[in-house]
Amino acid sequence: MTHQTTCCYCGVGCGIVVKQEQNGRLSLEGDKQHPSSKGMLCSKGMNLHYTVMDQSDRLLYPQMRMNRSMPMQRVSWDAALERTAAVFKTFIQKYGPDSVAFYVSGQCLTEEYYLVNKLIKGFIGSNNIDTNSRLCMSSAVVGYKLSLGEDSVPVCYDDIEEADLFFVEGANPAWCHPILWRRIEAHKAANPNVKIICIDPRKTDTARSSDLHLPLRPGTDIVLNNAIGRLLIEQGYIDNEFITNHADGFLAYRDQVMLRSVEEAAEICGVSADGIRTAAEWIGRSKGFLSLWTMGLNQSVIGVNKNLSLINLHLITGRIGKPGNGPFSLTGQPNAMGGRETGGLANVLPAHRDVTNAAHRAEVEAFWNSPVKIASKPGFTATEMFEALADDKLKAIWIINTNPLVSMPDVNVAEKALKNARFVVVQDVSNRADTVQFADVVLPAAAWLEKEGTMTNAERRIAYLPKVLDAPGEALPDVEIIWQFAQKMGFGDDFNYANASEVYQEYTRITAGTNVDVMGVSYELLKKKRTVQWPYPAGSEEQGAGETGTKRLFTDHQFYTPNQRAQIHAVPDENTSEPTDEDFPLVLTTGRIRDQWHTMTKTGRVAKLNQHIPQPFLHLHPDDAKARGIQDGQLVEIRGRRGEVRVKVQLTDDVRPGLCFLPMHWGKLLNSNLNRANNLTNSLVDPRSKEPDFKFTAVEVVPYRKPVEKIIIIGAGSAGLGFINTYRALNSEDEIHVFSKEIYPFYNRVLLPDYISGEQTWEQLVKLREDQFEEASIIVHKGVGVAHIDRQAKVVTDTNGVEHHYDKLLLGTGSRAFMPKGVPRLPGIFNMRSRLDADSLLPFLDRDAPRAVVVGGGLLGLELAASLRQIGVRVALIHRSGRFMERQLDALASELLYQELLDRGIDIYLNEEIQTFAGITQLEGVTLKSGRKLPCQVVVMAIGTEPNIELARTAGLSCNRGIVVNDYLQTSDPDVFAAGEVAQWNGQMWGVTLAAEQQAETAARFLAGDISQPYRGSLSMNILKMEGLHLCSIGISEVPAGQASSYEEIVFIDKAKRYYKKCIVQGDKLVGAILIGDKNEFAEFRELIAGGLELSDKRLQLLRSSKKIDPVEGKLVCSCNTVGQGNLERAIQAGCTDFHQLCQKTGAGTGCGSCRPEIRSILEKMALISEELRV
C-alpha cells in the first residue's frame, strides 16, 4: 500500500511516497508529481521512515511525579491531564492567566498550532504562546510586514526556473535546503548565463557553487546591501515608475544609502569594491532577480533591518510580483508558516491578525465565542518565557515538540529557568529531548505518519499528511492531547472535536475574507489535488483559480499595507551585536551541518546521517590558529562571556580571519554540556522581532590544556596498549606506568596457536617491543603485578611491596583461563593463555607421533587443534555440546565446520567430556564420560576464561560479573577506569581484542579532555583463523526465539563447496551474518552491523559480493581478511596514508585487530621511504 505525504524536516516541503509492506516494513521515495520537489529528496528526507521504524527512544505512556526528587511513574491519560488542569487552574486563579505558557514548535501541524492558540488566547486569556520559529523566522516575518503589509511570501519555487540572477545572502541552501539548490543547479546547467551571488562570511558549498562570493565581515550585511542600493540608483537600474506608483520611502532611502561611498562600504565589509559593483551590475541587468536568505539575516540583533535592506533592493528595482523576481525567505521548519497563519506567536492571532489591534481581537473573540477577553498586550516571546520562569513571573510552562535546552541562546540560563519552574509539562515523541528530565508531567505524542493534519511550506503550499500507522504505546496525536486538556479545563463545549479535519475546517472559516483566506481548502480537496497555495478562498476550485491556487502575490502591485503601497525603509547600518575586545577578539557564528536537523532528536537516530559529521567541531582560520599555537585536529576551548565549549578544531580558510564557526546540533552528552554551542551565544534580541543574535558572539579560542598527571595502567594486554596508542597521540606530557605481571608484555595472545605451529615467530606476536617503550614515553614494570589499590590515598602497592602514587588508574587486568576442579596437576595438562603456557607445551610435542587432546570447541580450541594437526600431531577434539561454536554459529554453519575438521584428520567427540586422567608422573591418557579411552601426552583445556576482578573488588569498586563502568569506562570511582575483559558496560562484557581497544580508546580520549565519543558497545564478532578455511560470524547468528516476525533471513548455500552466507535483517538493518567459504564481504558487513547502518538499496547486494576479490600480494599480514603486505603497500602508494582509512580500504585490521601494529609499521616505513625520496 502506498501513501502520499510530505517531509517534515525543512520548509521546502518535499513530496514523499511511503510504501507500507505487509510485514510492516516501510520504504519511501520522492514523489515525482510533487510540484515543489519533483521527486527529489535530500539525505534527511530519504531516511525519514527510519525515524518511525526505530522506536527505541519513543515516549510510550503518560508519566508524572509529584515533585522533582521523585522518579517518574506511569499514569493514565486522565490522571496526567487532570493533574495538569488542576495545577493550571490553581496558578491562573492565584496569579492570573499570564502565569502559564505554551512553548510550541514549527514541527507542529497547522491543526495543533490553531488549537493550542485558541486555548491559551481565547479561553485561558493569555497571549503566552510562542514557538521555536521565533528563533529562526521572526525577523523575516517583521520584515515582510513592514515592507509588504503582511507576513506573506510573494514568490514561489517555480520562480527559480524563471530567474537569471540568484542573490543568496546569509544562507547555505546547498546544505540546508538542498532540493531547492538542486533545482537552481539544474536551471543554471541548462542556462549558463544564469548568475549566482553568495553573500556569506563562510565559504560554504553554496559559495563554492556561486559565480561571485562576497565573504563579508559578520554584521555588515546592511552596509553591503545599502552599497548595492546606492549603485543601482547611480547606474539607473531602479524602476522609477514602480517607485512612484507603488512604493513609499524612496527619498529617505536614497539619502541613507548615499551616506557611505562604495569604497568605504567595501572596507567595512572586508570585500572588494569591484565585487560590490559586479553584484549591483548583475542585479541591474538581470531579468529575474530572486533573493534567498535564512538565518544569516534573521538571527541577528538587527535582523529586521537586515531583512528590510534586502527587500529594499527588490522595491527600488520593481522586482516583485513578476515571474522570477522577489524576496524569498527560506523557511527553516516544515510548518513555520502554518504556525504563523494560525497565530502561533505571542503577538499575532489567526489569519495574520494582531493582538494589539482591537478590531482583530473582537473578530476572533466573536468567532471563538471566547469566555474571556483576548489580552491586548503581546505575551512572552521564546526567550522572554525562560527569563520569566527564572524570575518566577511565569509559574508553569507546557513545551510541545521542541528542545529548548539545546536550541535557546545562553542556554545555561534557560536550564536554570526550567529548574526553577514550578510546573513543567513536556509533550514530545522522544525521551531524548533534554527537557524531559525537568518535567513534572510527560505526555507521549504521535509522530510523523502516526497522525493526520496539514502543513504549509515556504511558498505558501498547503499539504495534507495522512495517518499511515498507529502510534506506539499510548501515544496520542497532539490535537487530541490539546482538546482533551481543554475539556479537563472546563472548555469542553468549545473543544468537542471528533477528528483533526474538524479542527482544520474551523480554522479555515476564521480566515474568510483575509489575505490568507483558505476557506476553499479541505482534507478532501488536498487529497484530490495533493497541494494548493494560499490564498485559496471558497469557490476557488469552481472558479478555476489556478490548478493549485495562487502562485505569486502582488502581481497587481497592490500590497497589504493600509495604502496598498510597498514601504521602502531607510535603515541604519550600525551593528549592535555583542562587541569583541581584547579578551574575546573573535566572532563566533553558529549554524547547521548537512545531514543533521536542529537538536538531532530525529536525525541523530539515523545511523547513515551520523556518518557524515559524527562529532562537533570548530572551524577556525589558519592565521587565527597560528597566532594561538593551535594545530589542526587539536582539542580547543571556545570561551565566551557566558560559558565555554570544548571540541576539536578544523583549520580552514572556509572561514575568514577573525571568524569561527560551531554547529548548533549537539546538546548535553552524559551530563556534560561541553559540546553545546549555545553555552556561548548571548540573549540579545532584535527589538522588534525578538529573534536572538545567534550569528555574532564574541569569543576566544585557546588550546585545551589539562593538568599534568600520572597514569598507572595495570595489565599489559590489548586494553593497556590501546590506551597508550590513543593517549600518546593526544598527550605527550602525562607520565604513564604499566604493570605487567608477565615478563613478556604487549603480545598477541590470540595468535599463540600459530606460535605453537611455527607459523608465527615470537617477534611477530609482539605488539610493542622494548626498544619502543622510550619512544612511547612509558615506564613498564615487567614481571611486577599490583597487589593492592588504596583509592583514598591514590596509591597502588606492587607485588614487590613498593608504593606508587597515581592521579588516574586504568585496570586492564584481562582474564585467566578456566581450569575445572578435580583436574590433576600432572605434567602434560595445560591451559593456553600465555607464552609460558605455549613454551611449556612445546617440549611435549617433540617426540614421535605425539597425541594431543584439546578440550573445548570454541575459537581457541578449534584453532589450537588445527595448528597441532598442521605440525603432525594426532589430535582429538572434545566438546561437551552437540555442535561447535554454538553461540557464534547456527546449526548449519556448525555442521559445515564439523565436516571441515573431519577432513583435516581431527578426531571429534561431541557431547563428551573427560571423566578421568591416566598417569602418575606425567599424563598418559584420558577416559571420556562414555568410557572411551584416548592415549595422549598432552591435554589442553580451552573451555573459557574468568575476568580478573579480584583486585577491583578488594579496592571497593562496584563489581558484578565484571567491573561496572559507565560510557567513558569510568568505574564507581571517577579516577579509576577499566577496559577489556574485566569491564562490564550496560550489563555486557566482551572478550575480544577489538572491544578492548575500543574501550581503551574511549577512556584515553576522555582523559585527554574529549567527551564527544562515548563508548556505545562493541560488536560481537568471531573469526576462525584456520589455514584454508574462511569462516566468520558477526552480530547475531540466529533469530531470537519467538521473534521471527521481526526479522528476515537472506541465505545462500552450496554444501558441496562448503559455501554458506546468511544475513539477518531487522528494521532494514543488518544485525547478523555468517560467512563460510568467502569472507570477502566481512569488512563491509562489519561496518553495516557495527554502525547500525540502514541498508536501503544495499539489501539487493547482500546475496552477492559487491567487491572484487584481490589476491593476496606478498606476505600475509591480515589473516582475518587475507590481506598481504603488497596489498597494503599498493594502497599506500595510491595515496591512502591515513591508518584508519588504510584499514577500511583494504579490510586489514578490521577483524580481530591483531595485525594493526604490523599495518602501522608498514605505513610508517612507506612514509619514511617517501620522505627520503623527496629529499
Count: domains in the chain: 8
Question: Quick one: 957 and 987 in the same domain?
Answer: yes
Query: Within this chain, do residues 283 and 154 fall inside the same structural domain, yes or no?
Result: yes
Q: Which amino acid is located at 914 in the chain?
A: I
Looking at residue 891, its amino acid is A
Q: Is residue 1143 part of a domain?
A: yes
What pLDDT, in 10s, does the model give residues 49-67?
999 999 999 999 999 999 9
Q: Do residues 35 and 161 make contact, with C-beta atoms less than 8 angstroms apart? A: no
Please report whether residue 567 resides in a domain.
Answer: no
Residue 727 predicted with pLDDT over 80: yes
Local confidence band at 1022 (pLDDT 50, 70, 90 cut-offs): very high
Does 568 fall in a domain?
no
Q: pLDDT-derived band of residue 973, with 50, 70 and 90 as boundaries?
A: very high
Rounded CA-CA distance 1174/743 in Å is 42
Residue whose C-alpha is closest to residue 137's, from 314, 2, 48, 11: 11
146/247 Cα distance (integer angstroms) = 12
Containing 724, the helix (H) or strand (E) segment is: helix 718-730
Phi/psi of residue 500, each to 5°?
-65, -30
Question: Partners of 424 in the beta sheet?
Answer: 397
CA 787 to chain CA centroid, Å, is: 44
1024 lies in a domain? no
| Amino acid identity at 778 | I
Q: Cα(802)–Cα(825) distance, rounded to whole angstroms?
A: 33
Environment class of 1057 (CB within 10 Å of its CB; exposed 0-12, middle 13-18, buried 19+): exposed
Angle at 779 between CA 777 and CA 781, to 5 degrees: 160
Instruction: Please give the residue range of the domain that contains residue 876.
Output: 829-943
Give the three cell numbers for residue 465: 499528511
Least confident of 104-113, 213-222, 905-914, 1156-1165: 1156-1165
Region 125-134 average pLDDT:
96
Neighbours of 515 (CB within 10 A): 15
Of 555, 573, 607, the residue that ends a domain is 555
**Chain Cα centroid distance, residue 669:** 12
Residue 1139 CB-density burial (10 A; 0-12 exposed, 13-18 middle, 19+ buried): middle
Q: Say yes or no: 343 and 309 in one domain.
A: no
Grade residue 1105 by pLDDT with cuts at 50, 70 and 90. Answer: low
Determine contact, residues 830/841, Cβ cutoff 8 Å. yes
The enclosing domain of 1089 has a CATH number of: 3.30.390.30
Rounded distance between C-alpha atoms, residue 399 and residue 443, angstroms? 10
Residues pairing with 586 in the sheet: 699
Residue 944 Rama label (left phi>0; alpha psi -120 to 50; beta): left
Residues 125 and 156 in one domain: no
DSSP structural state of residue 119 = I
Pair 607, 674 in one domain: yes
State pTM to two decimals.
Answer: 0.89
Exposure string (b/e) for 596-631, b if CB count within 10 Å is 16 or more? bbbbbbbbbbbbbbbeeeeebbbbbbeebbeeeebe
1109 in any annotated domain: no
Long-range contacts of 703-706 (CB under 8 A, 24+ apart): 703/628, 703/629, 703/630, 703/634, 703/635, 703/636, 703/637, 704/634, 704/635, 704/636, 704/637, 704/646, 704/1009, 706/731, 706/1007, 706/1008, 706/1009
DSSP run (H or E) holding 865: helix 859-870
Cα–Cα dist 25/468, whole Å: 12
Give residue-wise pLDDT tens across range 154-186: 999 999 999 999 999 999 999 999 999 999 999
- Residue 758 pLDDT exceeds 80: yes
Looking up residue 210, the CATH number of its domain turns out to be 3.40.228.10
Instruction: Pick 988 or 1121 by higher pLDDT.
Output: 988
Same domain, 742 and 781: yes
- Residues 532, 461: Cα–Cα separation, whole Å: 5
pLDDT band at 1124 (very low <50, low <70, confident <90, very high): confident
The predicted structure's pLDDT at residue 1044: 87
Q: What is the pLDDT of residues 415-463, one digit of tens each?
A: 999 999 999 999 999 999 999 999 999 999 999 999 999 999 999 999 9
Whether residue 170 is found in the same domain as residue 286: yes
Question: Which pLDDT band holds residue 1104 (cuts at 50, 70, 90)?
Answer: low
Q: Are residues 962 and 938 in the same domain?
A: no
On whether residue 699 sits in a domain, the answer given is no
Residue 999 and residue 1059 share a domain: no
Predicted local confidence at residue 10, as pLDDT: 92
Contact 426, 433 (CB under 8 A): yes
Last residue of a domain, one of 669, 694, 719: 694
Amino acid 1096: pLDDT: 79
Q: Which of 601, 636, 598 is nearest to 617 (CA)?
A: 636
Which residue in this structure is represented by grid cell 481548502?
521
Residues 681 and 738 in one domain: no
| Region class of 808: left (phi > 0), else alpha (psi between -120 and 50), else beta | beta
Q: What is the pLDDT of residue 708?
A: 97
* Average pLDDT score, the chain: 94
Residues 228 and 283 sit within 8 Å (Cβ to Cβ): yes
Task: Evaluate the omega torsion of the peptide bond into residue 535 and state whether it is cis, within 30 degrees of 0.
Answer: yes
DSSP assignment string, 1018-1068: ---EEE--BTTB-EEEEE-SSPPTT-GGGEEEEEEEEGGGTEEEEEEEETT
Comparing CA positions, the residue from 328, 305, 296 lying closest to residue 253 is: 305
Chain centroid to CA 367 = 44
CA–CA distance, 989 with 530 (Å, rounded to integer): 53
The predicted pLDDT at position 544 comes to 62
Residues sharing a CB contact under 8 Å with residue 818, sequence separation 6 or more, in sequence order: 831, 941, 943, 944, 945, 946
Residue-wise pLDDT for 925-946, tens only, equals: 999 999 999 999 999 999 999 9
Count of Cβ atoms closer than 10 Å to residue 585 Cβ: 14
Side chain identity, residue 961: R
Looking at the fold, whether 167 and 262 belong to one and the same domain comes out as yes
The CATH number of the domain holding residue 861 is: 3.50.50.60
DSSP state of 28: E
DSSP state letter for 816: E
Q: Hunting for cell 563447496 — which residue is that?
A: 1057
Q: Which pLDDT band holds residue 402 (cuts at 50, 70, 90)? A: very high
Q: Map grid coordinates 497555495 to a residue.
A: 533
Residue 911 identity (one-letter amino acid):
N
Last residue of a domain, one of 299, 329, 359: 329
Q: What is the pLDDT of residues 472-520, one digit of tens each?
A: 999 999 999 999 999 999 999 999 999 999 999 999 999 999 999 999 9
Give domain status of residue 576, yes or no.
no
Percent of all residues in the chain with a pLDDT value above 90, rounded to a whole number: 85
SS3 sequence of 475-537: CECHHHHHHHHHHHCCCHHHCCCCCHHHHHHHHHHHCCCCCCCCCCCCHHHHHHHCEEECCCC
Q: How many CB atoms lie within 10 A of CB 907?
A: 16
pLDDT of residue 1103: 59
In 3D space, the residue among 819, 694, 84 whose CA is nearest the CA of residue 397 turns out to be 84
Q: What pLDDT score was predicted for residue 332?
A: 83
Yes or no: say if 878 and 913 are a contact pair by the CB < 8 Å rule. yes
Name the more confident of 1099 and 238: 238
Return the HEC string of 889-904: CCHHHHHHHHHHHHHC
Q: Does the residue 704 lie in any domain?
A: no
Q: What is the pLDDT of residues 560-615, one digit of tens each?
A: 999 999 999 999 999 999 999 999 999 999 999 888 888 888 888 888 888 888 89
Find all residues with CB under 8 Å of 663, minimum gap 6, and list them.
Answer: 590, 591, 592, 593, 596, 613, 616, 617, 677
Residues 382 and 466 placed together within one structural domain of the fold: yes
Q: Residue type at 1034?
A: I
Q: How far is 1175 from 1173, CA to CA, in rounded Å?
A: 5
**Whole-angstrom distance, CA of residue 653 vs CA of residue 623:** 9
Q: Please name which of 576, 101, 692 lies closest in space to residue 378, comparing C-alpha atoms.
A: 101
- Running DSSP on this structure, what letter comes out for residue 706? P
Distance CA 1145, CA 1135 (A): 11
Using DSSP's 3-state secondary structure scheme, residue 378 falls into: coil
Whether residue 644 has pLDDT greater than 90: yes
Strand order across the 73-74 sheet: 73-74, 63-64, 441-444, 423-428, 396-400, 100-104, 129-131
| pLDDT value at residue 1045 | 86
Q: By 3-state DSSP, what share of the chain in percent is helix, strand and coil, each rounded to 5?
A: 35, 20, 45
Beta sheet of 15-20, edge-to-edge order: 2-6, 15-20, 26-30
CA 952 to chain centre: 35
